[in-house]
Amino acid sequence: MNMQTSSGTPYTPVTEQVAFDRRELSVILSLYGRMVAAGEWRDYGISCLRDMAVFSVFRRTAEHPLYRIEKRPRLRGKQGQYAVVGMDGQILKRGHELKTVLRVLERKLIRAVD
């Protein structure tokens, strides 16, 4: 079936994207601000893809992020939809609660301040 809009142009369905909601971004940006103040992080990027959302953290504007904070809703019922992934692709922490997962990075903040 060939669908068209009222203007006659072909209708292409919008593919769903996964994104961080306002509450999740608030938690992530709070940590990001503290890490920037400590001089550990300098830049970030957000990607909203079909199956996951990614908040990438950079020490400098570089090719590879230091860390990726990922949200994968399909894993909600299994290991948990949130994960922190290191530069080498290793999953540092995965879980159901974003704040709990981000604690792995909070520890790095405490070491950086000391």
Strand stretches in 1-114, DSSP E: 43-48, 53-58, 67-71, 82-86, 91-95
Q: What is the mean pLDDT of residues 36-65?
A: 89
Are the CB atoms for 60 and 68 separated by under 8 Å? no
pTM of the model: 0.80
**Residue partners of 67: CB distance under 8 A and separation at least 6:** 56, 57, 84, 85, 86, 87, 92, 105
pLDDT at residue 6 greater than cutoff 70: no
Q: Note the pLDDT of residue 1.
A: 46
pLDDT at residue 112 greater than cutoff 80: no
Beta strands 67-71; 82-86: pairing state: antiparallel
